[in-house]
Structure 1
């Protein structure tokens, strides 16, 4: 069984999207459009996204009109999208819409991943739900040299230092790459 990873980019002051749920600030950073391959989890066989992330990706790349663009980032990997609404689906994409809590969907997500990793692409609250049920193994953050006035927080949970262990910290281009392993709660 693979790991469950929350791997994302954030502003230096902890926002993963701005006040309009846009990531344009991220793509304006040098190499933000084409991140170094070392910034993406190579062992991920399944992606997980919230509805806001999914809708932003569809709109930003005009994917419904150009469904071939879906594969540029997602490849042919199954993508689970947590939503409470009916959302459009690009032709040919393996998208599985999920309603309900993370714990109920987790067996299906793990089965689809097989021995590979599960990559929580966004958002922070969705990653927090995995953390809440003890199903998050790693948090990898690429910190961009940008400060935002507000927006979607990186992880809207209080997580104390006894739950996180720094695995690595390095500069990758303009980004500070921080990787933490997540320890289970001591309850």
Structure 2
């Protein structure tokens, strides 16, 4: 399968992290992982993930437990990172189409997830390799920070739901 989703959360004013790269504004929000567009239901369909170096660094800095993903992960970076023994994490600076091909091969019949950030998701879209965007909007404004998707992209709304404090929306990427 070659279905690629950018699944993320955003402040109401369009930021996925605040100016200090914090997600505190999001992590305190009540929602149901098994509810509408919830994480538990989403992650069960994912066979491979990709993230940028900043997202990976955030995970290293803030996740105190074990690596949270069981599927192969690509980290798009020019930085050097230590390997996480026992986990399939691939550090790469290859072109996005090449990374996408590798992810498709690894995922089998499951979907692909662009974890973040927004710039990486926009690169996938630029190459015609992004199929949908799912956003959970938190009831907060940040004023500045990392933008959700720093490029122009036409989208078609497909689904809207309320999950706890989050307003969730699924959009099809218009190609």
TM-score, length of structure 1 as denominator length: 0.86
Match of 1:146 in 2: 140
Matches within 5 A, 1:61-100: 61-62=63-64, 69-70=66-67, 73-74=68-69, 76-100=70-94
- Offset, 1:155: 0.1
Query: Which residue of the other structure, out of 42, 47, 51, is the alignment partner of 2:53?
Result: 51
Task: Report SS of the residue matched to 1:87.
Answer: coil
Matches within 5 A, 1:107-122: 107-122=101-116
Task: Report SS of the residue matched to 1:59.
Answer: helix
Deviations 1:143-185 (A, max 9, x none): 01111021100000012xxx3111101111100000001121x
RMSD: 1.4
Matches within 5 A, 1:129-144: 129-144=123-138
Match of 2:174 in 1: 183
Stretches of structure 1 lacking an aligned partner (at least 5 in a row): none
Match of 1:13 in 2: 13
Q: Distance in 2 between matches of 1:89 and 1:27?
A: 27
Q: Distance in 1 between matches of 2:94 and 2:87?
A: 22
Query: Which residue of the other structure, out of 32, 36, 51, is the alignment partner of 2:33?
Result: 36
Query: Which residue of the other structure, out of 146, 150, 165, is the alignment partner of 1:174?
Result: 165
Q: Which moved more, 1:16-25 or 1:169-178?
A: 16-25
Task: Report SS of the residue matched to 1:77.
Answer: coil
Q: Where do 4+ consecutive residues of structure 1 move more than 4 Å?
A: none
- Offset, 1:106: 1.8
Stretches of structure 2 lacking an aligned partner (at least 5 in a row): none
Match of 2:97 in 1: 103
Report how many residues are paired: 170
Q: Distance in 1 between matches of 2:83 and 2:9?
A: 25
